[in-house]
Amino acid sequence: MAPTRLSRRRLGAVVAGCSAIGLMLSGCGTTAGGTVAAKFTLSNSTPKPNKEIDQFSWALYAEPFSLDYAYAFDYPDNQVLANMCESLFRWNPDLTSAPGLATKFEHPDDLTWVYTIRQGVHFHDGSLLTAADVVASLKRHVDEKVGSFWASSFERVADIQKTGDYEVTITTSVPDYALNSALVGAPGVVESAKTLAKDGADYGNATAGVNCTGPFEFDHWDAGEGITLKRFDDYWDPSLRAKAKQMTFKILPDANARVNALQTGEIDGSWQVPSNALDILKANTDAGNVYFGNDTSVQSLVTSNLNGVFGDVRVRKALMMAINREALLQAAEQGYGTTTDALTTKNVWVGAQPSTVNSAFESLDKQDYNLDEARRLIKEAGATGKKFVYATASLTAAFDITSRAVASAAREIGLAPEIQTMSNDKYTTLFSDPEARKGVDLFETSWYLSSAEPLEMYSVLRTGDFSNYGGWSNAEYDQLINSAVGTEDDAERNRLTAQAAKIASQDVVWSPLYETVTALWLGKRITGVTPSINYMYYPWAATIGGR
Amino acid sequence: MTLTGTLPLLRTRRYGSLLSVTGWVAVTVTLVVVLLSLLAPVLAPYDPDFVDLSSVLGGPSSAHLLGTDALGRDMLSRLMFGGRTSLVGPLIVVAASTVLGLLLGLAAGWTDGWISRILTRVFDLLFAFPALLLAMLAIAIFGKGLMAPILAMTISYIPYVARLTQQLVVAERSRPYVQAYRVLGFRTPWVVLGRVMPNLVPTVGAQSTLNFGYVLADLAALSFIGLGIQPPTSDWGAMIEEARGALLGGHVLPALLPALVVVLIVVSINVIGEELSDRIGGKLS
Amino acid sequence: MAVTQLAAPPAPPTPATKKSPTAAPLALVLRKVGTLLITLFFASLIVFFSRFVLPGDPARFLLRGRSPKPEALAEITKQFGLDKPPIEQYFTWIGGILHGDWGRSLTYRQSVSDVLLNRLPVTLELVALAAVFITGLGLIAGMLASLNKGGWDRFILITVTAAGAIPPFVAAIALTALFAVQLGWFPSFGSGDEGPSRLWHLTLPALALGVTFIAFMARVTRSSMNEQLTREHVEVATSRGLTRSSVVFRHVLRNALGPILTVSGVLIAGLLVSSAIVEQTFGLTGIGQLLVQSIDRLDFAVVQAIVMIIVTAFVLANTVVDLIQPLIDPRIAAGTESR
């Protein structure tokens, strides 16, 4: 299925119509998908490198918590790991999948999946990959002692067995058609069973590193400074052989320092370019180029307490209506994104019929910017003057701006927000620890999908799911999602998911604000990588060479 | 800059004006800033937290005298309200440490026995902890915000005041007028608090004025690195930190303005404090 | 960093400690070292027992911000010896420190000593470079101001007063914007490889770190030299026909060094604390930045260790300065000169 095409809209007319005051009025296009001009065009590729290089450097905005794939759950961790460790399937830049460490799979019956493992693949220490390694790696996700952050992908898995030297069979307890899509990412990573046993609790930390199969191998990790990878010459896929002998990730939490380093050429490239620097960087064509690509991230507000003021759907709707999402997108991301009413991006609906995609997006409930209506709803719900706690962290400038803007909007319609700023680490625990969520009514998230499967998002909102942070429960929704998971036909599965999406949007379970776009900076020394969110799981660094 | 043990001349007569021209300018600047901050709720043109996404990063205009920040919040209002938070912290620290320091220093300087020795040792021990470090340790335990660093810095600054007081008291004790009071039968507490103390206050006060500037800079630094006042509460240090994103895009005012105010206040306070110290210490620089 | 830290008023002589001016140097050294050790001991008590100030479950406190899984609780209990009485916990901690075992970092899942030692060189080099700038630039500015009454004096005084009020974080941003991004003369982040590259990378951070102290050093130098210049011996030397520079260096400066030295020694230790802010801004992986990060991430073992290190450096520097003072200026040993 073709990826999202975003053509440049007519900028001029829109700018004329949207003077500074004009943006406040809804006449400037605040509908889903946005009719406002896009500041960026997506690229499918960057110029091919014309030579190999000795080394290049890459900026990271935070230090990975661990290189252990079971805990690699965030941008910094995954973008590093993707170059060293591979999964059973590969996630292409256009978000379709291709064979990876598994060459094919068969599905003899509803509950059985048989994977044929690629032969002749070596781990970085030279040993040969066999089915035993696959089983050991996958089993860690269901092992309670490991506490894998990806355990929910394996919820319906009953057993993982080695059924041949190069064959692994997964048996599920109920039909599960979402599992395969997950295997392009961290849930499908294969590590050497011997290494896992030997390193134990130290696996993936700064001294032990990893011993996987990817085009780069772990060289060393200077805690707090950076991580260095070197080319693995025995990599099994000649088409993805690394074009650089070595690469170093430099850890620089300070956004200004990062942008300075990119401009002076001290660091060659970066994902997650701070949006307030994009205009300047785009203009600095002497130093390098900015590219935009596929992203599956949606910035949303998560209602984590349905027993407080947000228990009433009118209040949730009202808050959405009080936020001028277009203006927010401008302020928070300098316009590098698209406002949305959906919790997923169009590009993950691979395999859906156009009409399905339509109903999953166009016909969703829209909460357009309307302060008067919002105030009326609040009064009607009797929520005037009621307090709520909004938790945030300074993860990015966008988070800061969003939290202030949302709080201000809430005050404007008569609510009494209290902003609780947490440390980045404490904020992360909101997503995994119910204790941490106590006393918090609302928090924001940049929720990205790790597969081209909308169910990855919507299954999260089922009753009792690990990430159903507000404890929302809707029987019809559950039923739709559960049938979808068990539906083999792609089109039909997506159709059911779209119906569930509609229910979620009617109930404003989470409040989508805008989609972001993957921004890539390539300094003038390097080129070759395709800008796409698949950098989280695909060995993107191997495609980088010199220009 | 230490002061030797000579006593203030203020109890006799002033030699000309208390401060130089620069000094009076500094006083004016300080008063203006303090007044604007105090009267912020009345004088500020906007609510400092009011987000106006349509006027993001605007330069100075008739609507916004000092422009707006990345969220369209009015800079002038934020600076004024920011003063309330940024000035109150150092004020508490300096006031509390001065009062406690004076009392402890008096106790240490007036008595001769083990009280004095123990107090001196305690002061020595506290000297081993730089104020900023103690503040960070307190934050590590009590959490971020203003409470922990204020507490810690008060404790850190007590020994400086106390040691100075102790020195002065020891010198005063042997002065004729004190001996005279005692010979005449006046009770010790009255002599100490009623006669000796007032002579110390100017010297100690001058030093405390200087401390105010240092504490302000330290607290602003703590807010800047995210350990002190948490945004969105307006505070000059936190404002500078919040404005760094705008710096990336080439907008300097949101960061420059609070930085200027901080520098201006600290310079003014330093000038006042040093002139007072020099004058009161009997030396002119 | 509060500049008053640098000049703690000296303890007034109490009757019991009056010593004869000719006290044996060895006794003096031993006494100073003894005081050092006692201070360190009590400081360690403060650092260690600070954690107990908060009521509640110590294991939960140490695991704040992380999910308290049973395995994590068990490990923390074992590592900190939480099931033992506090006194024993203290001795285990101290014993560990003296053996080089400073505990385990929750953030890095490595031993604290590993994490620390990786980062110590950068901070030490930064502080050393800053100290060079402070003493160099500060001394020169102070001397110039003191020796050139009138225009230069006022100009330097004003500049230095203003500079002294610029907090390190403001200086850092301003220096980077001008010298790194605009002019490109210096790198904007990172610590570079060992050697000349390191020096080049640390120049701007060291300047930002030192700006407040350069100002202070200039003023101390200036006032100290001013005081000396009015002394009799200088007039005598001048009237004997010695050249100005000779007078300045051999008579004025040497005697003025006393206060300057007091300040320098403690300066270096004090810089360690302010380095946290500068390191953060320039992306330097030193222990200052590690301190801030560990506070942010509630990694208490690391915080304890770093605070202990800084306090030790501070007290050590103080002691060393105390010991050297008499060598520079024999009158201090004789007790006839006040500092």
State which residues form the domain around C326. Answer: 115-338
In a domain, C104, yes or no: no
pLDDT in the model for residue C13: 43
A-chain CB neighbours of B56 within 8 Å are 330-331
Region A101-114: mean pLDDT is 93
Instruction: Please state the φ and ψ torsions of residue B278, each to the nearest 5 degrees.
Output: -65, -45
- Two tokens at A15? 């700018």
In a domain, C15, yes or no: no
In a domain, C169, yes or no: yes
Other CB atoms within 10 Å distance of the CB of residue C140: 15
In a domain, C51, yes or no: yes
Q: Searching chain C, which residue's CA lies closest to the CA of residue B241?
A: C169
How high does pLDDT run on average in chain A?
Answer: 87
In a domain, C6, yes or no: no
Q: How far is CA B111 from the centre of its chain?
A: 29
* Residues A479 and A461: beta-carbon distance below 8 Å: no
d(Cα A517, Cα A333) in Å, to the nearest integer? 10
Other CB atoms within 10 Å distance of the CB of residue C74: 11
Comparing CB atoms, the residue among C66, C110, C115 nearest residue A429 is: C66
Tell whether the model's pLDDT for residue C64 goes beyond 70: no
Instruction: Please state the φ and ψ torsions of residue A64, each to the nearest 5 degrees.
Output: -60, 145
Tell whether the model's pLDDT for residue C339 goes beyond 60: no
Of C98, C127, C162, the position where a domain reaches its end is C98
d(Cα B10, Cα B198) in Å, to the nearest integer? 10
Q: How far is CA A107 from the centre of its chain?
A: 28
DSSP secondary structure letter of residue A9:
P
* Residues B131 and B152: beta-carbon distance below 8 Å: yes
Between the two ends of chain A, the Cα-to-Cα distance in Å is 32
Shortest CA gap C162–chain B (Å): 6
B-chain CB neighbours of A400 within 8 Å are 231, 242, 245
> B147, B157, B224: best mutation site toward chain C, by most C Cβ within 10 Å?
B224
d(Cα A273, Cα A43) in Å, to the nearest integer? 16
How high does pLDDT run on average in chain C?
Answer: 77
Of A409, A453, A491, the residue nearest A89 (C-alpha): A453
| Helix boundaries (H) for A299-429 | 313-322, 325-333, 354-361, 371-380, 397-412, 424-429
C165 contacts B263? CB cut-off 8 A: yes
C298 contacts B214? CB cut-off 8 A: no
> A323, A395, A419, A421: best mutation site toward chain B, by most B Cβ within 10 Å?
A421
66-105 in chain B: CB under 8 A from chain C: none
Shortest CA gap C22–chain B (Å): 24
C-chain CB neighbours of B278 within 8 Å are none
Tell whether the model's pLDDT for residue A535 goes beyond 70: yes
* Residues A545 and A51: beta-carbon distance below 8 Å: yes
Check whether residue C156 and residue C59 sit in a common domain: no
B-chain CB neighbours of C182 within 8 Å are none
Check whether residue C63 and residue C135 sit in a common domain: no
| Chain segment C129-139, per-residue pLDDT in tens | 998 888 888 88
Residue A425, chain C, CB below 8 Å: the answer is: yes
Comparing CB atoms, the residue among B56, B144, B248 nearest residue A255 is: B248
Check whether residue C221 and residue C274 sit in a common domain: yes
Check whether residue C135 and residue C93 sit in a common domain: no
* Residues C130 and C209: beta-carbon distance below 8 Å: yes
* Residues B21 and C240: beta-carbon distance below 8 Å: no
Task: Sketch out chain B's domains with CATH numbers.
Answer: 17-41+65-284 (1.10.3720.10)
Of C52, C70, C98, the position where a domain reaches its end is C98
pLDDT in the model for residue A482: 92
Q: Which residues, at least 6 apart from A39, have a Cβ–Cβ distance to it below 8 Å?
A: A334, A335, A336
Q: Which of A8-17, A90-99, A145-154, C260-269 has the lowest mean pLDDT?
A: A8-17
Tell whether the model's pLDDT for residue C81 goes beyond 80: no
Check whether residue C93 and residue C134 sit in a common domain: no
Other CB atoms within 10 Å distance of the CB of residue C73: 16
User: For helices C254-282 and C196-229, what crossing angle results, to 10°?
Assistant: 140
In a domain, C64, yes or no: yes
Say if strands A53-60 and A269-270 run parallel, antiparallel, or are unpaired.
parallel
Tell whether the model's pLDDT for residue A402 goes beyond 70: yes
> How many CA atoms lie within 13 Å of A394's alpha carbon, on the beta-carbon side?
18
Instruction: Please state the φ and ψ torsions of residue A308, each to the nearest 5 degrees.
Output: -100, -145
- Two tokens at A519? 């921004």
C67 contacts A432? CB cut-off 8 A: yes
Q: Where are the beta strands (DSSP E) in A190-274?
A: 216-222, 226-231, 244-251, 269-270
C-chain CB neighbours of A254 within 8 Å are 189, 280-283
Q: Searching chain C, which residue's CA lies closest to the CA of residue A426?
A: C65
Check whether residue C61 and residue C203 sit in a common domain: no
Region A198-205: mean pLDDT is 88
Q: Which chains touch A (3 or more CB pairs under 8 A)?
A: B, C
* Residues A189 and A86: beta-carbon distance below 8 Å: yes
- Two tokens at B155? 């404790």
pLDDT in the model for residue C85: 83
* Residues A71 and A148: beta-carbon distance below 8 Å: yes
pLDDT in the model for residue A263: 87
For CA atoms A497, A500, A502, A505, give the dihedral sign: negative
B245 contacts A259? CB cut-off 8 A: no
pTM reported for the whole predicted model: 0.78
d(Cα B237, Cα C295) in Å, to the nearest integer? 18
> How many CA atoms lie within 13 Å of C73's alpha carbon, on the beta-carbon side?
9
The 3-state DSSP class for residue A505 equals: helix
d(Cα B125, Cα C206) in Å, to the nearest integer? 29
Of C184, C186, C208, the residue nearest C197 (C-alpha): C186
d(Cα B281, Cα B203) in Å, to the nearest integer? 7
295-354 in chain A: CB under 8 A from chain B: 324, 327-328, 330-331, 334
Q: Name the burial class of residue A279, with classes exposed (0-12), middle (13-18) and buried (19+) by CB atoms within 10 angstroms of its CB.
A: middle
- Two tokens at C261? 């030295």
> A65, A68, A221, A260: best mutation site toward chain C, by most C Cβ within 10 Å?
A260
Check whether residue C145 and residue C228 sit in a common domain: yes
> B47, B52, B53: best mutation site toward chain A, by most A Cβ within 10 Å?
B53
Residue A264, chain C, CB below 8 Å: the answer is: yes
Q: Searching chain A, which residue's CA lies closest to the CA of residue C72?
A: A145
A423 contacts C65? CB cut-off 8 A: yes
* Residues A393 and A427: beta-carbon distance below 8 Å: yes
Region A381-393: mean pLDDT is 92
Q: Which of A141-155, A277-291, B216-230, C216-230 has the lowest mean pLDDT?
A: C216-230
Of C37, C67, C98, the position where a domain reaches its end is C98
The residue type found at B88 is V
Q: Which of A157-171, A333-347, B164-178, B240-254 has the lowest mean pLDDT?
A: B240-254
Instruction: Please state the φ and ψ torsions of residue A449, each to the nearest 5 degrees.
Output: -95, 145
Check whether residue C203 and residue C269 sit in a common domain: yes
Of A181, A183, A189, the residue nearest A66 (C-alpha): A189
Number of domains in chain C: 2
A-chain CB neighbours of B245 within 8 Å are 255, 274, 276, 397, 400
Check whether residue C323 and residue C272 sit in a common domain: yes
In a domain, C288, yes or no: yes
* Residues A84 and A67: beta-carbon distance below 8 Å: yes
Comparing CB atoms, the residue among C176, C187, C282 nearest residue A266 is: C187
125-144 in chain B: CB under 8 A from chain C: 125, 127-133, 136-142
One digit per residue, pLDDT tens: chain B, 285 residues? Answer: 333 334 444 444 445 677 788 889 999 999 999 999 999 999 999 988 888 888 888 889 888 999 999 888 999 999 999 999 999 999 999 999 999 999 999 888 888 888 888 898 888 888 888 888 899 999 988 888 889 999 999 999 999 899 888 888 888 888 888 888 878 887 777 777 777 888 888 888 888 988 898 899 889 888 888 888 877 788 898 898 888 778 777 788 888 899 999 989 988 988 888 888 777 765 433
C289 contacts A254? CB cut-off 8 A: no
Q: Searching chain C, which residue's CA lies closest to the CA of residue A225?
A: C285
Q: Searching chain B, which residue's CA lies closest to the CA of residue A257?
A: B248
B-chain CB neighbours of A421 within 8 Å are 230-232
Instruction: Please state the φ and ψ torsions of residue A131, each to the nearest 5 degrees.
Output: -60, -30
Share of chain C above pLDDT 70, in %: 80
Check whether residue C89 and residue C180 sit in a common domain: no
What letters, b where the CB count within 10 A reaches 16 and e where it falls short, cover B211-250?
A: bbbbbbbbbbbbbbbbbbbbbbbbbbbbbbbbbbbbbbbe
Tell whether the model's pLDDT for residue A1 goes beyond 60: no
Query: H or E element: which one contains C313?
Result: helix C300-328
- Two tokens at C278? 């500068």
| Chain segment C173-226, per-residue pLDDT in tens | 888 878 876 777 887 777 777 778 888 889 999 999 988 888 888 877 887 777
d(Cα A268, Cα B285) in Å, to the nearest integer? 54
C-chain CB neighbours of A427 within 8 Å are none
Check whether residue C148 and residue C264 sit in a common domain: yes
d(Cα A38, Cα A41) in Å, to the nearest integer? 7
A257 contacts C108? CB cut-off 8 A: no
What letters, b where the CB count within 10 A reaches 16 and e where it falls short, cover A531-544?
A: bbbbbbbbbbbbbb
- Two tokens at B162? 């106390």
d(Cα A168, Cα A153) in Å, to the nearest integer? 17
Check whether residue C168 and residue C275 sit in a common domain: yes
Shortest CA gap A434–chain C (Å): 9
Q: Which of A459-468, C227-236, C304-313 has the lowest mean pLDDT?
A: C227-236
pLDDT in the model for residue A28: 30
* Residues A45 and A530: beta-carbon distance below 8 Å: yes
* Residues B56 and B49: beta-carbon distance below 8 Å: no
CATH code of the domain containing C196: 1.10.3720.10
Region C303-308: mean pLDDT is 91
| Chain segment C5-52, per-residue pLDDT in tens | 444 444 444 433 444 444 567 888 888 888 888 888 888 888 888 888
* Residues A397 and B245: beta-carbon distance below 8 Å: yes
174-213 in chain B: CB under 8 A from chain C: 207, 210-211, 213
d(Cα B220, Cα B236) in Å, to the nearest integer? 7
Tell whether the model's pLDDT for residue A124 goes beyond 80: yes
Residue A474, chain B, CB below 8 Å: the answer is: no
C173 contacts A205? CB cut-off 8 A: no
Region C303-310: mean pLDDT is 90
In a domain, C109, yes or no: no
d(Cα C167, Cα C209) in Å, to the nearest integer? 9
| Chain segment A52-76, per-residue pLDDT in tens | 999 999 999 888 888 999 988 888 9
Q: Which chains touch B (3 or more CB pairs under 8 A)?
A: A, C
Comparing CB atoms, the residue among C11, C280, C310 nearest residue B133 is: C310
Comparing CB atoms, the residue among B51, B244, B247 nearest residue A405 is: B51
A421 contacts B248? CB cut-off 8 A: no
* Residues A243 and A49: beta-carbon distance below 8 Å: yes
Q: Which chains touch C (3 or more CB pairs under 8 A)?
A: A, B
Tell whether the model's pLDDT for residue A33 goes beyond 60: no
Confidence of residue A229 (pLDDT cuts 50, 70, 90): very high
Q: Which residues, at least 6 apart from B19, have a Cβ–Cβ distance to it below 8 Å?
A: B26, B27, B272, B275, B276, B279
